[in-house]
Structure 1
Amino acid sequence: MMYTIIDVETSGTSNRITEISIFKYDGKQIVDEFTSLVNPEVIIPVYITSLTGIDNVMVANAPTFSEIAADVLAITEDTTFVAHNVNFDYNVIRNEFKALDIDFNRKKLCTIRLSRKLIPGHKSYSLGKLCAALHIDIVGRHRARGDAEATVVLFEMLLQKEGAETVFNDFLKKTSKEATLPSHLPTSVFNNLSDKAGIYYFKNKKGKILYIGKAKNIKKRVLSHFYSKAQKSLDLCRETSDIDFELSGSELIAFLMEDAAIKQHYPEFNVVSKRAPKAYAIFSYEDRKGITHLAYNTLKATPNALQTFSTIADCRQYLEKMCTEFELCPKFCHLQEAVTQCSHYKITTCKGVCCDTETVNDYNARVTAAITYITESKQDLVLKQKGRNAQEEAFVLIKKNVYLGYGFVDKSEQITTPEDLENFLIPQKDNLDVQKILRTVLRV
């Protein structure tokens, strides 16, 4: 079998190649080499230069990737792509080809995963530390040629290990997940993941939580991260060394557990979910003519909020519902602005307070009824859910439209009233994200 052992240096965040080194290896010796600086066509940040020594001046007259693409294709053709943390190097190169509208597909082997299998027991499998432990010299650390050459020596060692042929063949099978899993993630950790509903935690080598997700099938959802070619997923997988999980029983409780966990840990890869959502609210006030208005604004700017929402659209939709049910005027519910008389395309039930054909007192009486409905029609709900196992049931508890949390109850327990459930409640904080989750379920 023919292998190409490869290392690339990149521009950092933009992940454009600044240097590439490829050694073609026939299982016994190096038979060809291609090494080149590459003009990434972006600015190389200072922190990358301090790591690799490659600066903007060095690559100014270097070929662009499009100019060396044919050389890379030729030397890697009909070979197995080998690298230390192969998914990183492979996807960087594949993305460079994708920008040129060229498909790049090669079989892959990862020397980190091979090393974990064939030479277990090392504290670290980073190239520098592993090579130091194995007494492999790296001439030019963090330069493509130096790192690739050291990887060749490591690869030769791995080929000579007992059982190497079986391990290599297993890793190269199309059904094998070894080339798909993050390089630093032990296969046993992935194999131990559940195929049930719950949340999962991606962690780095220090145990820091990087990302929290939810799923109906944890194992299947986690695997989808490894197949993703999105840059965020590639960065996440490169740092992942462990994955933990918690079962939820149902998808709804998984949603709620995920929201609480993200707000507790604020993982760096959960950018959108950890943002504090902007809240909006409906309130009432009386104008100079004595007419009671229903209006909406941001929650911070709202005096005595009657009901809160996550978007202005939700506010308007709710006000349209109130207008229809209580025959209110769209103008005085702020569904129409800068008009003397209402002429809403959908709501035609206004009795004429806006054009003086109805008294203010009669109109305000209906507004008062609407306000009473809004404030007093809040529900107490127990949402029964599937438990985490056959002997268990789960629930979500809501009182007066306020989410209190969820819980799990053994089926042998005697539960006769909602108050009995409070002994099993795992208390949680209510927030706009939770309200949005529950509103979807309740269709409110």
Structure 2
Amino acid sequence: MNFKEQIYSVVDIETTGNKMSGNRITEICIVRLLGDQVLEKYTTLVDPETLIPDFITGLTGIDNEMVATAPLFAEVAEEIERMTRDSIFVAHNVNFDYNIIRNEFKRLGYDFKRKKLCTVRLSRELIPGMNSYSLGKLCNSLGISLNNRHRAEGDTDATVILFKKLLEIDLDGTAFTNFLKGSNKEGTFPPHLDRAQFHDLPEVPGVYLFKNQARKVIYVGKAINLRKRVLSHFYSKTSKSYLMCQEIHYIEHIPTGNELVALLQEADLIKEYYPKFNSAQKKPRKAYQILHYKNQIGVVQFAVGLVKSYDYSVVTHYDRAHAVEQLEQLCADFNLCPRYCSFKTPEDCTQHYKLQKCKGVCKKKELVSLYNIRANQAIKALHNQNPNYIIKQKGRTTEESCFVMIKDGEYQGYGFVDQYTSISSIEDCEDFIDRKAANYHTNQIIRSYLKKYGEQNVVYEIAQIA
């Protein structure tokens, strides 16, 4: 194919938002080219049939009054189809413009399909090493005049000049051919990201952090293969991935050596940074424990209580119903009084719908001291249900190993040691552990790991807490 004799349609649109779905067009400009020769231009405002948000008006200058008398998309669809017919659809961040136009045609019952070229991806390939590949900064670096920024015609005119430069650089059409055939495997890179940061990513398990221009963390993810996982974000066509990629300026990564620690560190970092694009794990979950204390008459009283801080050392449940079930079982196993386990009962506690083995401490038929012996046995059993153990994992190199510590059934943190250091108990781990706060998500991660892998890498502490 002779790319200098090919017809191109260089397109830019303005919309009611910045997502790839659900947006409506407010303005469109199309320049039809034969190679590097302009054949014709078409530009028009479009009535989006919905209100334009204030922040969009602030960006583009297009307000609701301006589009009130503009044609509907249905009225200009035929002209848009004609201007792009038998041509290659070209735009800066082409998927955004192409998908929104295609969705507009879908509303009319028409399947709009065109071959696509992205000037961001072409620029990365043909003009490497630029600080940014956003249209404004790229044009400024290349000396391309960009007037009337964030209006369809101004952006299209600048993209046309950029596209002509790319045609001149790609003398044999290799880059154009690769991108049209989809044989380029580097995806749609974020326009502000230095490609070297991606190439520095190792193909190992770990955690990665996407940061914006102010170096604020906007997304945290875990990966078995850091490079492949990060690249998958760039290939994704979802609105979330597109919007996130527009804000990425920096990538940081933390090798972990194994998936379990990657999952745990991801949960910890999401809690620390509360990133904009992490929807999961951001909502706090309440934690519950079985409390025990001596009441005013000296009886050991039990209750299910809310843990007010995830830093509490003995968290037993993240579901209140599960904590209640455990207390019911404890009450039944040790013949405890339902009333002193904080369960609602009739006047005669043996009439509880489920627990009917009270020996009468609540009616002074049993000595408090005898009752408390069983209560303390229940407390001991409760602690023994929360064992101490470590989970051994691979280290970040062949010369080290990793452990995850659980104490009293609660996640404590993880650590890395060299291959010559013996780790076989909780005490051995104390000098190496990087302590972390437990929460609902770390609890679920440990439970899921044990359910999947069993106890093949688990080393239990022999001595349990009394």
Could you tell me which residue of structure 2 aligns to residue 343 of structure 1?
A: 353
Change in CA separation of 1:417 and 1:79 when aligned onto 2, cut-off 3 Å: same
Distance apart, 1:330 and its partner CA: 7.1
Q: How far did 1:105 drift?
A: 4.6
Cα distance change of structure 1 residues 24 and 199 upon mapping to structure 2, 3 Å threshold: same
Q: 1:403 to 1:287 in 2, by over 3 A?
A: closer
What secondary structure sits across from 1:49 in the alignment?
helix
The amino acid across from 1:41 in the alignment is E
Match of 1:8 among 7, 13, 18: 13
| Residue number in structure 1 paired with 2:34 | 26
User: Structure 2 counterpart of 1:24, which letter?
Assistant: R
2:79 is the counterpart of 1:56: no
* C-alpha distance after superposition, 1:306-365 (max 9, x if no partner): 744323233234335435644667787567788983335xxxx742679x9996668766
Classify the secondary structure of the residue corresponding to 1:140: coil
Partner Cα distance (2:109, 2:204) in 1: 39
Cα displacement (A) at 1:155:
0.3
1:125-140 aligned at under 5 Å gives the runs 125-140=133-148
Once the two structures are superposed, the pairs formed by residues 37-436 of structure 1 within 5 Å of their partners are 37-97=45-105, 104-163=112-171, 165-284=173-292, 294-300=302-308, 307-323=315-331, 325-326=333-334, 341-344=351-354, 350-351=356-357, 366-375=374-383, 377-415=385-423, 418-436=426-444
Give distance in 2, aligned partners of 1:404 and 1:310.
16
One-letter code aligned to 2:291 = F
Going from structure 1 to structure 2, the CA distance change for 1:79 and 1:125 (only over 3 Å counts) comes to same
Confirm or deny: 8 A CA contact 1:203 1:210 kept in the other structure: yes
Distance 2:177 2:246 in 1: 24
AA at the equivalent of 1:230: T
> 3-state SS of the aligned residue for 1:12?
coil
Deviations 1:388-438 (A, max 9, x none): 233332111233334332122222334565434334333323334323322
CA distance in 2: counterparts of 1:309 and 1:101, whole angstroms? 52
1:227, distance to aligned residue in structure 2 (A): 3.6
Q: Which moved more, 1:234-243 or 1:70-79?
A: 70-79
| SS state at 1:424 partner | coil
State the TM-score, normalized to the length of structure 2.
0.79
Say whether the 8 Å CA contact 2:186–2:231 is kept in structure 1.
Answer: no
Q: Structure 1 residues 435 and 31 mapped into 2: Cα distance closer, same or farther (>3 Å)?
A: same
Q: How many residue pairs end up in the alignment?
A: 438
Partner secondary structure for residue 141 of structure 1: coil
Following the alignment from structure 1 to structure 2, what is the Cα–Cα distance between the partners of residues 280 and 102?
A: 55
Alignment partner, residue 460 of structure 2:
none
Identity over aligned pairs, percent: 46
Q: Are the structure 2 counterparts of residues 332 and 126 from structure 1 closer, same or farther at C-alpha, using a change threshold of 3 Å?
A: same
CA distance in 2, matches of 1:322, 1:240: 52
Q: Deviations over 1:359-395 (max 9, x none)?
A: 6668766444323322455422111012223333211
Q: What is the SS of the residue equivalent to 2:173? A: helix
Distance 1:385 1:398 in 2: 14
Partner of 2:447: 439
RMSD between superposed Cα atoms in Å: 3.7
Contact kept in structure 2, 1:306 and 1:374, CA below 8 Å: no
Equivalent residues of 1:291, 1:360 under 8 A apart: no
Contact 2:390–2:403 (Cα < 8 Å) also in 1: yes
8 Å Cα contact 1:225-1:233 kept in structure 2: yes
Q: Distance in 2 between matches of 1:365 and 1:164?
A: 89
**1:360 to 1:269, Cα distance in 2 relative to 1, 3 A:** farther
Counterparts in 2 of 1:104 and 1:11: CA distance versus 1, 3 Å: same
For 1:404 and 1:425, the matched residues in 2 are separated by: 8
